[in-house]
């Protein structure tokens, strides 16, 4: 007997072919919520401060093809730092920026840009 769950809704076939879709974004910036939640003022209303600031800064500069996302953990926790990475400037998982709490979005974007060299 198979139970229907959130992951296997009734009538779904786990062996059905997978599909891909195209997105209109060229880059994803990932912010670690586990790191951010350890610091006062960095995590509130279920969102990180850096996610909001990065999105606002990118939009004010007219950048629309970058997605800023929160991830539960990048698994590189370091004391008194917040882990952030970008899919554009580094091979995923190879270069992760560790920033201090309270850092500005502009400084994070500059740091991510420096990862590409």
Residue extents of the structural domains in the chain: 27-114
pTM: 0.77
User: In 3D, which of 80, 65, 62 has the Cα closest to residue 23?
Assistant: 65
Considering the chain, what percentage of its residues have pLDDT values greater than 90?
Answer: 46
pLDDT tens across 88-105, in order?
765 555 678 899 999 999
pLDDT tens across 42-71, in order?
998 889 999 999 999 999 999 999 999 999
> Mapping DSSP to helix (H, G, I), strand (E, B) and coil, where does residue 50 land?
helix
**Residue 110 — φ and ψ, nearest 5°?**
-65, -40
Rg (CA), the chain: 17
């Amino acid at each position: 007997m198979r139970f229907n769950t959130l992951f296997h809704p009734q009538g779904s076939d786990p062996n059905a072919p997978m599909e891909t879709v195209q997105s209109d974004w060229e880059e994803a910036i990932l912010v670690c919520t586990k790191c951010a939640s350890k610091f006062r003022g960095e995590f509130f209303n279920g969102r990180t401060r850096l996610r909001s600031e990065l999105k606002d800064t990118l939009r004010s500069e007219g950048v629309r093809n970058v997605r800023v996302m929160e991830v539960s953990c990048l698994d590189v926790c370091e004391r008194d730092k917040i882990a952030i990475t970008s899919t554009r400037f580094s091979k995923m998982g190879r270069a992760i920026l560790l920033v201090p709490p309270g850092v500005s979005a502009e400084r994070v974007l500059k740091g991510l840009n420096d990862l590409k060299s």
